[in-house]
Amino acid sequence: MMDPIQEAYGNTMGSLLFIPSLIADVFWFAAILASLGATMKVILDIQGYLAIIISACTVILYTLLGGLYSVAYTDVIQLVFIMASLWICVPFAMTNFATESIFYTIGRNVFQPPWVGKIEVWDIGRWLDDFLYLTGIKLTMAFRHPTTEATEKDVLWVMRVSMVAFGTLAGVLAFYSHSIYDLWLLGGELVYALLFPQLCCVLFIPNTNTYGSAAGFVFGLLLRLLAGEPSLKIPPFICYPGCSVVDGVYIQRFPFKMVTMLITLLTIISVSYLAAFAFKRNLLPHEWDICKLIKEDGVFISLPRREEQSNHVHEGEVANGS
């Protein structure tokens, strides 16, 4: 995901835009640890905090020792155990006194409210918003592959330090997570609102630049924060249509995530073209062009082309020096 963004907007902007993705990964890991800890607490009858610590240490240890290969192998082993254990559980679930036919519980209150409900008219916007942002996350994650120009040894040490640091952070967050899904959903919202528009511009809209990317990032982040977040007990400063208070918590029924994403997209496009127009027509002095959109002769040049030319110049200097 970060490769095309870094190539289009440069290393600095790429590093800044990597933060929402990193936060989403840490929140996802914290949610997994909270879920795994709750499972171990039930199976082994141990305290929740101890289960989370054991889970975090186990994951960090085998990842440090085996690298990404260990992650891939454990995923395969996990899938095998899931398939086998679920089928083993079927007879016990079918014969348990708490089990009833789904055709009976579909509309009756048996041990809990009926599991099939309905979408109210005032909740349609909220459901549509969640559906679109989950779709956007999937599309964004499909482009995830990191770029690096460091040596293999440097990358190895960075990965090891990152595993320990972010694994520890995720473990700490898992202690304070009231819901194993809240953190993951919040991280996904940041990716959808801030990174999905950036990726769309890089792939499908030509001539967007670093100025538009930075403006879209700042404006999109501001809009998302002002909409509030119930899981973090942040009240909304912007109450969109349909905003209401349920059990003392503000609920945004308007599809504000989609609106934030679209406003971010429009901001990137408009600021990019306005900045290019202002510098090309000399409406702004070239000394203010900190992102170097304009060459010395006043011709507009895209960032990937500038970096390619810079690399060629650097290679030529090294060759002449040798």
Q: What is the mean pLDDT of residues 149-174?
A: 76
- In the block, tokens 């990191």 appear at 146
Does residue 272 have a pLDDT over 90?
yes
Confidence of residue 297 (pLDDT cuts 50, 70, 90): very low
Check residue 189 and give its pLDDT.
Answer: 84
pTM of the model: 0.73
* Token pair belonging to 168: 């520890």
Does residue 214 have a pLDDT over 90?
yes
Check residue 266 and give its pLDDT.
Answer: 96
Q: List 245's β-bridge partners, or say none.
A: 250
Q: List 147's β-bridge partners, or say none.
A: none
* pLDDT tens per residue across span 196-213: 899 889 989 888 999 999
| List of residues 6+ apart from 178 with CB closer than 8 A | 231
Does residue 249 have a pLDDT over 70?
yes
Does residue 270 have a pLDDT over 90?
yes
* pLDDT tens per residue across span 11-26: 888 888 888 888 888 8
Share of the chain above pLDDT 90, in %: 14
* Token pair belonging to 181: 């899904």
**Residue 174: in which H helix or E strand, if any?**
helix 152-175
Q: What is the mean pLDDT of residues 308-314?
A: 54
Confidence of residue 296 (pLDDT cuts 50, 70, 90): very low
Name the nearest CA neighbour of 200 among 220, 185, 172.
220
CB 270 within 8 A of CB 254: no
Share of the chain above pLDDT 70, in %: 83
Check residue 215 and give its pLDDT.
Answer: 95
